[in-house]
A and B are shown apart, each in its own frame.
Chain A
């Protein structure tokens, strides 16, 4: 069974930093691209970032480019999202998502971790 467990969310002041972690199990992590998708309170889904299976290719939404960094540690079956220069508009539930390999779709979603950016 695929399991994705996130950690690292919380309250941070504008301009601050936070690192999200997503620990994966139940599938061959090293063969899977991974993504982060966020959802602001009461709003829709927004793509944030993704990383391919070998870690050499990353994708970022324009809204986070230059501030967020995605990376992975296959020895720990974990993908990370390092978030810096956080803004109030980054407040959202952040979902770690497994890629449906070869199909550019998101086939398993973690429950999400809440990031609140507020002074």
Chain B
């Protein structure tokens, strides 16, 4: 199972919006409603930000939004804040009944 494809890095200024893409295949992202996104600050454990493509767990800011089109999922962060600077990973449940992660995207808030 190959890793999902994410951009290595994205950046934005405070207050701006950014979007991170996550591209897979019809065997994972394209064929699944079970796409999730995780935020990881340096030295910390990952945190669930989005599940089931676009749902936010309780406590996650509504500045985080996600969607999917075909084989690509998207995470958008509105109104960037300094605390959003972190690594972001997408994940999908696959047709092989296992999970696959993206390679991760480093978000820099300028």
Are A109 and B51 CB-contacts (below 8 A) given A44-B3, A47-B99, A47-B100?
no
Are A44 and B101 CB-contacts (below 8 A) given A106-B36, A106-B48, A106-B91?
yes
Q: Is the CB of B38 within 8 A of A106?
A: yes
Which range contains the number of B residues in contact with the other chain?
A: 20 to 34
User: Which residues in chain A, 55-106, are within 8 Å of chain B measured between CB atoms?
Assistant: 59-62, 95, 100, 103-106
* Chain A residue with the shortest CB-CB distance to B92: A104
How many Cβ-Cβ contacts under 8 Å join chain A to chain B?
A: 67
User: Which residues in chain A, 1-52, are within 8 Å of chain B measured between CB atoms?
Assistant: 35, 37, 44-47, 50
User: Which residues in chain B, 52-82, are within 8 Å of chain A measured between CB atoms?
Assistant: 52, 55, 57
Residue in contact with B51 in the complex, picked from A37, A62, A107, CB distance below 8 Å? A107
Tell me, yes or no, whether A111 is within 8 Å of chain B by CB.
yes
In angstroms, how far is the closest chain A Cβ from the Cβ of B103? 5
Which range contains the number of A residues in contact with the other chain?
A: 20 to 34
Q: Is the CB of B52 within 8 A of A103?
A: yes
In angstroms, how far is the closest chain A Cβ from the Cβ of B24? 14
Residue in contact with A109 in the complex, picked from B1, B47, B103, CB distance below 8 Å? B47
User: What per-residue 1/0 map shows which CB atoms of B19-53 lie under 8 Å from chain A?
Assistant: 00000000000000010101010001111100110
Q: Is the CB of B36 within 8 A of A45?
A: no
CB neighbours (8 Å) of A110 from chain B are 45
Are A105 and B46 CB-contacts (below 8 A) given A44-B3, A44-B89, A46-B101?
no
Pairs A–B under 8 Å by Cβ, sample size 22: A35-B99, A37-B101, A44-B89, A44-B101, A44-B103, A44-B104, A45-B101, A45-B104, A47-B98, A47-B100, A59-B99, A95-B45, A100-B48, A103-B34, A104-B36, A105-B52, A105-B91, A106-B36, A106-B46, A106-B48, A107-B57, A112-B45
Show the binding face of B for A, using Cβ within 8 Å: 1, 3, 34, 36, 38, 40, 44-48, 51-52, 55, 57, 87, 89, 91, 93, 97-104
